[in-house]
Structures are given as C-alpha cells and as structure tokens.
Structure 1
C-alpha cells in the first residue's frame, strides 16, 4: 500500500474529502521534496501549494506532486478546494495556524486529523530505516573522532563545535538538533546549551547529539565520569545504565506497550530511590522529526511493533549537583530490537 493510499484509508474513516497539512515533514514524506509548502491530498493525487520564495525550488526538485503557486496567503488553496467540490477537510491541527484554521472553517467542514500522518510515519519503510541507520553511523563515526578530546580543561563549546564539524565531515546535511554538551552542575539541566565552562576533575559530562542524513535523524546521549569519582556518582550512573538496559531487553514486539517500557524504567530507578529525579518521558520516535510518534511515556497505549524506531533515554537530574542520561535509538525487529549507531565507549575517563 502506498503512502497516499494509507492517507485515503484514514480519510474514509474520518468521512473527509481531502487531507491538508502545513507540516514540512509531511510534505517531504508524501512528495519527496524538502521544501516549505502546504500539502494537499485528494484521492490518489498530492499537491504542494508554495509561495514565490519556494515555488521554483520545489518544482526543480521534481516532487511526486503537482505544484501550485500561491501569492495571497491560502486564498488560492481555498479556490482550488471549491473548484474540486471539496466540502470536508481532514486537517492536521497541530501544524495549522489559528488564522488558516479560521479561514478554512468559513467554507469547509473541518475534521480533526491531528497525528493521522504521524501514525502512518510511525511504522518505517525499509528506505527510511536505511536512512536512519546512515544518520546513526555518521554520528557514531563523528564521535569516534571527538572522544579522544574528552579531558580536563576542554570546554563544552569546544567539544560541541568539533562534534558538529565532524558530523558534517562524515556526511550529515545538518545536526539533528542543537548538540548538547554539559559538564559538572550543568548536567542537572536536561537541555543545557554549551558554554565556555571547562571540564573539571570529577565532573560528569553529558553529550546528546544526532545527525540528519537524507532528511532522517539519529539521536544518542552519552554520559561520562571524568577524573576522580565517588561511590555515589558510580551508583547513580549504574542506576541509569541498568534502567536503560533492562527497558531495552524488556521489549517484546507485538506484545509490549509504550507505557510498559516507561514503567520498567521507573521501577528500576525506584529501587535506588531515584525515580523522583526522572522528570521526562522514557523516549520518543525518531525519523523525519527528531521527536515523533511513538512517545514512550506513562500514558501511551501504543503497541510496539516491528519497524518502529524510537529512543530509550532514562535520566536523573539532581538539582545543584549533576545529572546522568543514557540514550540509545533502537529499531524494533520481528523478535527483538537493534541498537542503531551506538558504540560502547568507556564511560569512565
């Protein structure tokens, strides 16, 4: 079944005449072009509505869609829908501005199609899996070059800049997100932005990074102990390590639900009295977006099935002291899971 056929099945379920998304990743997924535009799918055909700045670029990329130029907001889109006798629209509300929603609501019945395309994208095709694997390998190879730099006296920014450079050198289109390098007390902030702070003896060092290749992303986090360390620090690190490992090994394709993985992590951290310091979800899907379905959290009933790709990333963050996060991206296979791109670097330096 083609991607557009899958959307059409969803349209039939919703009782809608067409599907519209303002999400750039949906444009890429259904048309093969990474460009700014509005995606419209009617029956078996896709259309991209693009403004003057994007029109020529998208046309030259030869998308699997007809490209229509717009000049005044979404007026041309409205006219096109009326010309094609469209009455009801399945609209991805998350990607739609309030203005566009109100404009379309004047002439059409709106069906909430939030996450409909994301549910389709959640199950990866083989070419998507191959792209994510390439991205993971690029990130791993880049980090192999950076790893010897990790030593007392090197700054967070120096490590970040070198890692970003090496990912580009190995073939990344861009970084998957802004690379996180945190040391010492900065590791207690899950999304710290690198500074000129230098690594000190006894610091935890957290590095969260990923590469984007052919539009698809990778995601990985290492935490290192640099120099001298205490028994408490070792125990904290081990707690997160075991929580991550046991959660990954716990997954049974076609039987495990996302919330069960999250619970497995929290139960393990609770054995050490550390579950209260775990302040985010256990993981998220990875693909065209760095955060997408499935979300591995306490409320998700999503059944884990083959060809899903997602992270498992338990972390504990002690305010004013330090944090530890270990993250791997995994591919769900028929009977087990495969870790993508992760290399077993020595965590104690």
Structure 2
C-alpha cells in the first residue's frame, strides 16, 4: 500500500472527502519536497499549494504532486476544494492554526484527523530506516572527532561548536536540534543551553545531539564523569546506566506496549530511590521530526512493532547538584532491537 493509499484509508474511516496538512514533514513524506506550502490529497491526487517564493523551487524539484501557485494562500486552497465539490476536510488539529481552522470551517465540515499522518509515519519504510541510520552514523563519526577534546578547561560552547561543525563536515544537512552540552550543575537542567562555562575536575558532562540527513534525524546522549570521581558519583552513573540497559533489553516486539517500557524504567530507578528525579518521557519516536510517535510514556497504549524507531533515554536530575542522561535510538526488528549509530563511550561501569 502506498503512502497516499494509507492516508486515504484513514480519511475514509471518518467519512471525509480529502486530507489537508500544513505540516512541512507531511509535505516531505507525501511529496518528497521540504518547503513551506499546503498539502492536499483528494483520493489519489496530491496537490502542493506554494507561494511565490517557493513555487519555482518546488516545480524544479519535480515533486510527486501537482503544484499550484497560491497567490491568495489558503483562499486558493478553498477555491479548488469548492471546484471539486468537497464538503468535509480531514485536518490534523495539532498542526493547524486557529486562523486556518476558522477560515476553512466557514465553508467546509472539519473532521478531526489529528495524528493520522503521524500514525502512518510511525512504522518506517526501509528507505526511511536507511536514512535514519545514515544520520546516526554521521553523528557518531562526528563525535569520534570531538571526543579527544573533552577535558578539563574546555567550555560547553567549544564542544557544541566543534560537534556541529563535524556533523556538517561528515554530511549532515544540519543539526537535528540545538545541540546540548552541559557540565557540572548545568547537567541538572535537561534542556540546558551551552554557555562559556568550562569543564572542571569532578564534573558530569552531558552531550545530547543528532544529525539530519536526507530529511531524517538521529538523536543520542552521552554522559561522562570528568577527572576525580567519588563513590556517590560512580553509583549515581551506574544506576542510570543499568536502568537504560535493562529498559532497552525489556522490549519484546509485538508483545510490549509503550507504557510498559516507561514503567520498566521507573521501576528500576525506584530500586535506588531515584524515580522521583526522572521528570520526562522514557523515549520518543525519531524520523522526519525529532520528536514524533510513538511516545514512550505512562499513558501510551501503543504496541511496539517492527520498523518503529524511537529513543530510550531515562534521566535523573538532582536540583542544584547534577544530572545524568543516557540516550540511544533503537530500531525495532522482528525478534530484537538494534541500537543505531551508538558508540560505547562508557568510562565507568
């Protein structure tokens, strides 16, 4: 079944006449074009509504769609919908602005298609898996060049800048997200922005990064303990390391649900009295978006099946002290899981 056939099947299930998306990742998935515009799918016909700035670029890329110059933006979309006698629209409400919703609602019945395309994208095709693997390898290779510069006296920003540069040098279109480099007390903040702070003796150092290749992303986090290490710090690191490993190995394709994986991580941390310091999801899908389905959290009933790609990233953050996160992106296979592009830079185990 083609991608368009898959979305049409979902659209038909809610008795809508067409699918409309304002999401650039949906645009790329269905047309192989990553540009601003409006995506419309009516049965087996796909349209891209492009503005003056992007029209020529889109046409030159020969997309798998009919390209329409939308001089009036969403009004141009409405004109074609009326011309095709469309009465109802399947719309992803999470990726639709209030203005877009209210404008379309005046002339058409809006049917909630939230996450329809994301549910299709959750199960990766082989070409997508290959792209994610390339992104993971680019990130890993870049990090092998940066690893030797990790030492006392180097700043967070210096490591970030070099890592971003190396990812581009190895073939990344861009960083998958804003690279995180945190040291010392800054590791207690999960999404810390790198500063001029220099690495000090006894610091934890957390590096969270990924590459984007052919539109697909990778994501991983390493944590190191620099210089002298106390028994408390060793235990803290090891307890998180074991939690991450046991959680990954717990996964049984076609039998495990996302919420079970999340519970496994929290139960393991609870053995050490650390579960209260785990303040985010256990993982998230990775693909065209750096955060997408499936989400590995306590409320997700999603069954884990082959060709899903997501992270396992438990983290513990002691306010005012330090934090540790270990993150791997994994591919679900028929009988096991594969870690993508991860190099075992483990300093204390």
Question: Equivalents in 1 of 2:13, 2:154: separation in Å?
Answer: 56
Question: Equivalents in 2 of 1:206, 1:7: separation in Å?
Answer: 40
Question: Equivalents in 1 of 2:38, 2:76: separation in Å?
Answer: 11
Question: Equivalents in 2 of 1:192, 1:152: separation in Å?
Answer: 19
Q: How far apart are residue 95 of structure 1 and its match?
A: 1.1
- 1:297-333 CA distances to partner (integer Å, 9 max, x unpaired)? 0000000000000000000000000000000000000
2:238–2:348 Cα contact (<8 Å) kept = no
- For residue 44 of structure 2, what is the aligned residue in structure 1? 44
Question: Equivalents in 2 of 1:288, 1:347: separation in Å?
Answer: 32
| SS of corresponding position for 1:39 | strand
Question: Equivalents in 2 of 1:123, 1:347: separation in Å?
Answer: 35
- For residue 4 of structure 2, what is the aligned residue in structure 1? 4
2:258–2:301 Cα contact (<8 Å) kept = yes
- 1:41-62 CA distances to partner (integer Å, 9 max, x unpaired)? 0001110111111111111111
| Structure 1 runs (4+) greater than 6 angstroms displaced | none
1:223–1:347 Cα contact (<8 Å) kept = no
Q: How far apart are residue 73 of structure 1 and its match?
A: 3.0
2:234–2:348 Cα contact (<8 Å) kept = no
| SS of corresponding position for 1:288 | coil
- For residue 21 of structure 2, what is the aligned residue in structure 1? 21
Q: How far apart are residue 72 of structure 1 and its match?
A: 2.1
Question: Equivalents in 2 of 1:346, 1:336: separation in Å?
Answer: 23
- For residue 85 of structure 1, what is the aligned residue in structure 2? 85
- For residue 70 of structure 1, what is the aligned residue in structure 2? 70
RMSD (Å) for aligned C-alpha atoms: 0.9
| SS of corresponding position for 1:237 | helix
Q: How far apart are residue 348 of structure 1 and its match?
A: 4.8
Question: Equivalents in 1 of 2:10, 2:140: separation in Å?
Answer: 38
- For residue 290 of structure 2, what is the aligned residue in structure 1? 290
Q: Residue 94 in 1 paired to residue 94 in 2?
A: yes
| SS of corresponding position for 2:114 | coil
| SS of corresponding position for 1:77 | helix
Question: Equivalents in 1 of 2:107, 2:60: separation in Å?
Answer: 33
Moved more, 152-161 or 52-61: 52-61
Number of aligned residues: 349
- For residue 206 of structure 2, what is the aligned residue in structure 1? 206
| SS of corresponding position for 2:192 | coil
- For residue 111 of structure 2, what is the aligned residue in structure 1? 111
- For residue 184 of structure 2, what is the aligned residue in structure 1? 184
Gaps of 5+ in 1: none
Question: Equivalents in 2 of 1:121, 1:321: separation in Å?
Answer: 39
Question: Equivalents in 1 of 2:205, 2:81: separation in Å?
Answer: 54
Gaps of 5+ in 2: none
- For residue 303 of structure 2, what is the aligned residue in structure 1? 303
- 1:236-288 CA distances to partner (integer Å, 9 max, x unpaired)? 11111111100110000000000000000000000000000000000000000
1:209–1:221 Cα contact (<8 Å) kept = yes
Write out aligned runs for 1:1-349 (5 A). 1-348=1-348
